[in-house]
Amino acid sequence: MRAREISKLRLLKPEEVADRLGVSTLTIKKWLRNGKLPGVKVGHLWRIDEADLEKFIEERKNRGTV
């Protein structure tokens, strides 16, 4: 990944993602551990790229599972 692309990344906390999706933080962390939702671990903390979250939402809209 190039420096310009990295500077455009917006990494979200599981709590922020949970608020957006209307689910618990525990659900988000379970999805991250199971690979259902893409994320990265920074130390012991999970972070979710906003672009990956948008893709996750779109995929589920298309399947009718949001």
Range of the domain at 20: 8-63
Per-residue tens of pLDDT for the chain, all 66 residues: 555 555 568 899 999 999 999 999 999 999 999 999 999 999 999 999 999 999 999 998 888 765
Q: What's the number of domains the chain is made of?
A: 1
Domain annotation covers residue 2: no
Question: In 2-62, which ranges are E strands?
Answer: 11-12, 40-42, 45-49
Cβ(28)–Cβ(37) below 8 Å:
yes
Rounded to two decimals, what is the model's pTM? 0.80
Domain annotation covers residue 26: yes
State the CATH number of the domain containing residue 21. 1.10.10.10
